[in-house]
Structure 1
């Protein structure tokens, strides 16, 4: 008797709860969406006037499926760089006992002035006797070749009016044994350029920023 009463009570509770839930009207899914009904707008039907925000344009061309062979292009050939300075002197001179001085005047209006020189001094060969470090360590004669002590060269640049030395360099005597050097003048002026030397063949090139 007690079991039948319990089953009847459960059935009454199930029916009561089922009666409280109502199904949504026909055609509605029960999803209210991201916006409330006041925020949603209807899509205008076809044939409505264009609001005019977009401008008609030509579609971007799409590449065709056909493949073309690559085209090889050659890099443009670089043209030779022109000489930035004007060569005003280019000469090789043999300086000796009878020809030791050359002088030139030049009004430098477009600095700089570059004086480059390469010296070929007169060479001297001497025979010396020295003890060998090999075999029987006997004394032998050896030849030594070196620049003559009398070979030298000097470039002197002066202000032509006052004679004041602006720049000076050379080979031998008071200067180093470097055979290639450059004298640089970086200001305007009316200059006297002196080339002096002895027992040396010298190639001199002078360049200026303009003439």
Structure 2
């Protein structure tokens, strides 16, 4: 073999060694090729405890006498609507179960309006009724009936914080209509006390304002 071929062969071997070393290089510690790069949810987002950034301040409910229990309403639901853009700021949103309980919050409304929307899910009662079929051999049959509990109700009250005067109210059962979705609108400035009370219902409540 001539002397001119040796440097050429040595260069080829060196190149092969360099390429082999590059293919076995490890990634820096902490880096994974399967990492999606997404941001993990915060503790507040993943807890499912509702949304309350602190604009509503927990307060003591206004003292009132216990209302009389009225007859249970029949269930009536609105049809679904197409969602639209919301120009207001959400300051509170939570789905809560009420069992003879009451929640109260104070809020100074400086940028009207104040909008409170709620969806009520009353406790449902299922009963079986034995009756006679009106067809064929008049056999005895069992008919299943399902309706809201007679003790299911919900009430929202907006009061003047200083005087306790009721400025707006609505609800489900106990004298209110049986609509399960309702909306309260307050268009004036003021220092308000918001009260949510009910029994045997699960309610999704959302409070929005013109700005904070």
TM-score higher than 0.5: yes
How many equivalent pairs are there?
A: 129
TM superposition score normalised by structure 1: 0.59
Q: Following TM superposition, by how much is the alpha carbon of 1:196 offset from its aligned partner in structure 2, in angstroms?
A: 0.1
1:93 and 2:96 correspond? yes
Q: Following TM superposition, by how much is the alpha carbon of 1:82 offset from its aligned partner in structure 2, in angstroms?
A: 6.0
Counterpart position of 1:190:
191
Counterpart position of 1:145:
146
Aligned residue runs from structure 1 range 156-167, under 5 A: 156-167=157-168
1:203 and 2:211 correspond? no
- CA distance in structure 2 between the partners assigned to 1:130 and 1:161 by the alignment: 58
Aligned residue runs from structure 1 range 71-86, under 5 A: 83-86=86-89
SS of aligned partner of 1:111:
coil
- CA distance in structure 1 between the partners assigned to 2:162 and 2:140 by the alignment: 61
Aligned residue runs from structure 1 range 1-211, under 5 A: 83-97=86-100, 100-211=101-212
Unaligned runs of 5+ in 1: 1-80
TM superposition score normalised by structure 2: 0.59
- CA distance in structure 2 between the partners assigned to 1:86 and 1:143 by the alignment: 44
Instruction: Determine which structure has more spread, i.e. the larger CA radius of gyration.
Output: 1
Deviations 1:139-162 (A, max 9, x none): 322111111010110000000000
SS of aligned partner of 2:134:
coil
4+ residue runs of structure 1 moved beyond 6 angstroms? none
- CA distance in structure 1 between the partners assigned to 2:180 and 2:85 by the alignment: 27
Unaligned runs of 5+ in 2: 1-83
- CA distance in structure 1 between the partners assigned to 2:182 and 2:88 by the alignment: 18
Aligned-CA RMSD value: 1.3
Counterpart position of 2:51:
none
Deviations 1:39-77 (A, max 9, x none): xxxxxxxxxxxxxxxxxxxxxxxxxxxxxxxxxxxxxxx
